[in-house]
Amino acid sequence: MRLLVGLVLLLSSAGAAELVQIGADATPQRYHLTARASEIDARTRPHPEIDFVFTDKAGKPQDIENAVVDTRVAPRGRLVIWLMDYKAPLFDRLGDYGLHAIQVHYANKWFGLIPTSARDDGNSLGQLRLEAATGEDFSPLATIPQPDGMMERAFQFVRWLTQHHPQGQWEQFINDQGTGLRWEKVIMAGASHGATTATRFAVHQRVDRVVAFCGPRDQLESWQSFPSSTPANRIFGFSHVLDDGWKNDHYCRSWQLLGLHRYGPVVDVDASAPPYGNTRRLTTHFDVKGDAKRAHSSVTPGSAAGKNAAGQYLHEDVWRYLFTQPVDAVGEAVAPNPNCGRDLPQPKPATR
C-alpha cells in the first residue's frame, strides 16, 4: 500500500506537542493514496470467469484502488467515483475543484466475454452492469456478491481512507449507520463502458450527479428510458462528434431517452462559452485528424485531448462545468431530434 499522510502531532514554537484537530491538515497538499481491494476487505474474491481478478498472469496486482484529495482547496463535500482506470490528469483536476475522488476495482472486463446472443438481446448489458455495480442478483450471466460490487468496494475503500487519512475528512461520505456511503453526495463518472455503467447505476440509485464522457452506450437496450432515481438534470454528457458512438447515434439516443433534451440543446463547446446555455449535452469538433479512436478518448484530460498552440488543454472550462455546474441551473427545453437513432435496431421489450 502507498499512503501519504500529514503529522498528527505538531511542535509549537515553544517546543510543546500540540494535537491537531481530527480532520485538520498540518501540511495542506494534494494527496494520492492507494490500497488493494483484496487487502482492505478479506471478503473480496476474484472472479476469473469474467476476468475480474486480483493479479494478472504475471502476478501484477489488478485490484489497486486510487484516491485523491487536495486539502489546500475548499472542499465541496462531494465524492467522485470514477469507473475506469485511474487517470492522474483527471484526478488532479478533481482535486483542484475541491472534490474528493476515488477509483475502485470492480467488474468491468466482462463485455467481450459474454455470449454475443446475450450481449445483443436488449436486456443483458444493463442487467450485468447493475450486478457489477451493486453486487446484487440482476443477471444470470455472472454471480457477483456484495463485497465484490462497486457499491461495497467503494464503501470499504472510503472507510479505509477514513481510518488511514483523517486529514482528508473522508468520513463525511459515510452514512450515520456506518453501513454504506451517502449516495446523495456521490458523483458517478466514467468514460465509454464506465460512463454507461455509471449512468445505469444512477437510474437505479439516486446520486448527486453523473458525468458521462463518450457515453452512455447500450444502443440496443431501453433501460435509459426507465423511471430514474437520479433526476435527469443531474446527468451531464460530453462527446467528440467523430467518436463512432456519436456518429452512430448511440450517445444522442441515450441522452434523449434519459430526457436530457429537457434541459437544453446539444451545444458545441468549441463554438460556445461557459455555461454553455446550462445544457447537459456537450460536444466538441476539434481536429483529431479524422481518427475516431482518438476522438473517443479525447474528451477527458490526457494525451488524446485537444491542446492549443501553447500546449494548454482546450477543454479546461468544460471539465470544470461538468463536475461543478449547479444542477438547478438548466437550459431551455428543446424537442427530441426525430432523426437520432432512427436507423438503429429497435430494442426488444425490456425487463427491469
CA distances from 117 to 50, 120, 122, 230 (A): 17, 5, 10, 30
Query: Would you say 212 and 255 are in contact if contact means Cβ atoms under 8 Å apart?
Result: no
Lowest mean pLDDT among 20-29, 175-184, 288-297: 20-29
Residue 7 CB neighbours (<10 A): 11
What does the domain layout of the chain look like in residue ranges? Answer: 9-324
pLDDT at 145 over 70: yes
pLDDT at 21 over 80: no
First-to-final CA distance of the chain: 40
What are 265's three cell numbers? 440543446
What average pLDDT score do residues 50-72 get? 96
CA distances from 157 to 65, 170, 240, 267, 300 (A): 8, 10, 33, 37, 24
Q: How confident is the model at residue 349 (pLDDT cuts 50, 70, 90)?
A: low
pLDDT in tens, 309-324: 999 999 999 999 999 9
Give the per-residue pLDDT at 351: 63
Phi, psi of 117 (to 5 degrees): -60, -35
19: three-class secondary structure by DSSP: strand
pLDDT at 1 over 60: no
The Cα–Cα gap between 216 and 202 comes to: 12
What are 178's three cell numbers? 456506518
What are 194's three cell numbers? 464506465
SS (H, E, C) 73-99: CCCCCCEEEECCCCCHHHHHHHHHCCC
Give me the percent of the chain exceeding a pLDDT of 70.
92
pLDDT in tens, 224-243: 999 999 999 999 999 999 99
Lowest mean pLDDT among 3-17, 33-47, 100-114: 3-17
Residue 18 β-bridge partners: 10
Regarding the domain delimited by 9-324, which CATH topology (the fold level of the hierarchy) does it fall under? Rossmann fold (3.40.50)
What average pLDDT score do residues 296-303 get? 98
Give the per-residue pLDDT at 343: 86
Q: How confident is the model at residue 65 (pLDDT cuts 50, 70, 90)?
A: very high
Give the per-residue pLDDT at 117: 86
Concatenating the DSSP letter of every residue in 292-328 gives HHHHHHTTSSSTTS-B-TTS-BTTHHHHHHHHHS-TT
Beta-sheet pairing, 79-82 with 100-103: parallel
